[in-house]
Amino acid sequence: MTIRAIVGLAALNLFVLGVGAGVLWGLRGWRTWTEFVRLCGVAYFLGIASLFVVLTLELVAGIPFGATSVALTGVGLVLGGLLVGRQRGHRTPRLSSGHDSLRPSLLGAVFVGAILVYLEALFRPGRLSGLGWDVWASWVPKAKGIYFSGGIDADLFASLPGPSYPPGLPALHAAAFNAMGSADPVTLHLQQWFLAIGFVAAVAGLLAPRVRGWILLPLLLLILLMPDLRNRATDLYADIPLGYLLSVAALLVILWIEDSRSWKLWAAALLLSGAMLTKREGMLFAVCIVVAALVATFRERRTLWPRLGAASLAAFALVLPWRVWFMAQNISSDAPEAGYLGVFDHLDRLWPSLELVVSVFFDYDLWLLVPTLAVASVVFAYLGGARREAVFALTLLATSVVGSAWTYWSNPSLEIGRGDGLVNRVVGSPLLMVGVLLPLLLELAWQGRSEPRVAARQPVRGSLLSWRTAFAVVIVGAALAAYPAITLAGGAPSFPSFDDCVQAPIEGQKVRVVFGYGATYPEAVALRDRALEVGFQGTDVAQDGCGRVRVFLDNVPTREIGEEIVGEANTVDLQPTVELDPDD
């Protein structure tokens, strides 16, 4: 809850970006630094996913977890990426080629400004948020367990809800505790904010060369504004990170289907491993993405299926160490309660489960028009001749909806209803997946059969310093500065401190003489005993409501009497102060 914690978290996320940049260099490299800036979001998620994979492997292998091991892991990944990049002949990037700069537009600048303001606004509620139910009960204990013990305590994991849930996110959270300097689950909410920035950057960066701005930016903003997404954007559940990883992976797969560039497939495979190490639904939705890709590439099955199969197997192989570990530890399985075939004993749940998921999927109040537009975009893209992409999106939508329904069908203890909001969390990932495909599908529909499938936006010819660029920069800059300026004008941000529980005395009201504060009761009791010893009878200890223990003498009628007591205490080497006694 301090600036130091926020700075530590920012440093951790820069580190993640650096790790992902190393991995991206190994996978594809970049010709210019402007190209790298465009792909920063993808690099960030590659960093997240590769850290999930390697840190999980280290935890399973019993390698002590800590700031040093995380840093060395990151360095190792970067070095690995550099070596692979060198072997593959990636050349040192230039600053800019002039061909990878996109033509700025004023309308685009307005939407970019709006997206930036939205992200700025998301920071504030996350910073001082309380913790949700499963966050207290499952996610925070796991992260704290790793942070404090430097490993996975099998007994602790086994005792918590979702014992076989993978440790990718708790490991990241434990690394965040290290970076923040303490196990501060409140500030940890801002980790989700960094993930949100990474998600926006990844989607925009992947689609910018393919989708024209007037299609991409309004739809990206619409996705961000989905009420259920923004309500949960900074909570500490794993659903949103899972949705981000899956949706960027789905986007990479559809782009691979378009151009068969292998780095996209392997990057997607790594992100799918990350998703499978985030939550058990990661496995389910990863299968949906693979199935959708298989169906969409049926005609090219001889050339593409072996590559898809290899990438899928590699993605699964990276998750195996965790699965082997939890089975070896006899930790209860993450399989559905009814078992894989036992679901047929619960056929009565099939239709209600599907009905629930479909009704939530198309609920305007939760997701606005995104699912409806996704269906429409599939139809338009198909009619426009982008059949493989449309089939991929439609199959992904259908399988992930059926998959979401299966989670209800196969877990009889889950009440089929919207009551606890669980269904929103399950459906959120499929929605994000099909949501990010929406701009590409509409672009393909726009291009239709008549236009060759080329970059939708033409590179800038000539100088970037046109009036249009200048206006666009001003608009984005103004949007970026306006929100903090307006917010700060309403008052400086508050940082909780111990002083919140110290009230200055008020003339004519009762006061208490406070001998000091202890970080623990034993410390405070020692101070109280000293006060009692020298004659301050009635001195007591109690929690102060801000995380410390107060040593005090209360019910002092006036400030003057309080100050007399302070004077007496000073003569015996005690240094009390006078505070208001609110009589609570």
Binding stretches for another protein (CB under 8 A): 114, 117-118, 121-122, 124-125, 127-131, 133, 136-138, 140-141, 144-145, 148-149, 156, 159-161, 183, 186, 214-215, 218-219, 221-222, 224-225, 227, 230-231, 368-369, 373, 376-377, 379-380, 383-384, 442, 445-446, 448, 483, 493-494, 496, 500-501, 520-522, 543, 545-549
Helix (H, G, I), strand (E, B) or coil at 540: strand
Q: Please, what is the minimum distance in Å from the beta carbon of residue 424 to another protein?
A: 16
Buried b (16+ CB within 10 A) or exposed e, 291-309: bbbbbbbeeeeeebeebbe
Cβ proximity to another protein: between 107 and 534 the closer is: 107
Cβ proximity to another protein: between 573 and 584 the closer is: 584
Query: How far is the C-alpha of 356 from the C-alpha of 423, rounded, in Å?
Result: 8
Buried b (16+ CB within 10 A) or exposed e, 113-141: bbbbbbbbebbeebbebebeebbeebbbb
Cβ proximity to another protein: between 15 and 380 the closer is: 380
Q: Please, what is the minimum distance in Å from the beta carbon of residue 71 to another protein?
A: 22
Query: How far is the C-alpha of 275 from the C-alpha of 285, rounded, in Å?
Result: 9
Contact 524, 550 (CB under 8 A): yes
Q: Please, what is the minimum distance in Å from the beta carbon of residue 500 to another protein?
A: 7
- C-alpha distances out from residue 293 to 204, 258, 274, 407, 452, Å: 22, 11, 19, 22, 23
Contact 208, 457 (CB under 8 A): yes
The amino acid sitting at 544 is D
Q: Please, what is the minimum distance in Å from the beta carbon of residue 240 to another protein?
A: 15
DSSP string, 202-224: HHHHHHTTTS-HHHHHHHHHHHH
Contact 528, 551 (CB under 8 A): yes
Q: Please, what is the minimum distance in Å from the beta carbon of residue 124 to another protein?
A: 4
DSSP state of 210: T
Cβ proximity to another protein: between 373 and 556 the closer is: 373
Q: Please, what is the minimum distance in Å from the beta carbon of residue 207 to another protein?
A: 14
Cβ proximity to another protein: between 448 and 459 the closer is: 448
Cβ proximity to another protein: between 368 and 398 the closer is: 368
Q: Please, what is the minimum distance in Å from the beta carbon of residue 555 to another protein?
A: 20
Element (H, E) at 425: helix 422-447
Cβ proximity to another protein: between 120 and 258 the closer is: 120
Query: How far is the C-alpha of 377 from the C-alpha of 379, rounded, in Å?
Result: 5
Cβ proximity to another protein: between 414 and 556 the closer is: 414
Q: Please, what is the minimum distance in Å from the beta carbon of residue 565 to another protein?
A: 25
Residue 580, strand partner residues: 511
Cβ proximity to another protein: between 220 and 270 the closer is: 220
Cβ proximity to another protein: between 265 and 397 the closer is: 397
List of residues 6+ apart from 499 with CB closer than 8 A: none
Helix (H, G, I), strand (E, B) or coil at 32: strand
Query: How far is the C-alpha of 438 from the C-alpha of 220, rounded, in Å?
Result: 9
Q: Please, what is the minimum distance in Å from the beta carbon of residue 387 to another protein?
A: 13
Q: Please, what is the minimum distance in Å from the beta carbon of residue 125 to another protein?
A: 4
Count Cβ atoms within 10 A of the Cβ of residue 469 and give its class: 0-12 exposed, 13-18 middle, 19 or more buried.
middle
Query: How far is the C-alpha of 227 from the C-alpha of 51, rounded, in Å?
Result: 30
Cβ proximity to another protein: between 468 and 548 the closer is: 548
Count Cβ atoms within 10 A of the Cβ of residue 327 and give its class: 0-12 exposed, 13-18 middle, 19 or more buried.
exposed
Query: How far is the C-alpha of 522 from the C-alpha of 499, rounded, in Å?
Result: 21
Q: Please, what is the minimum distance in Å from the beta carbon of residue 183 to another protein?
A: 8
Query: How far is the C-alpha of 182 from the C-alpha of 9, rounded, in Å?
Result: 11
Query: How far is the C-alpha of 451 from the C-alpha of 62, rounded, in Å?
Result: 56
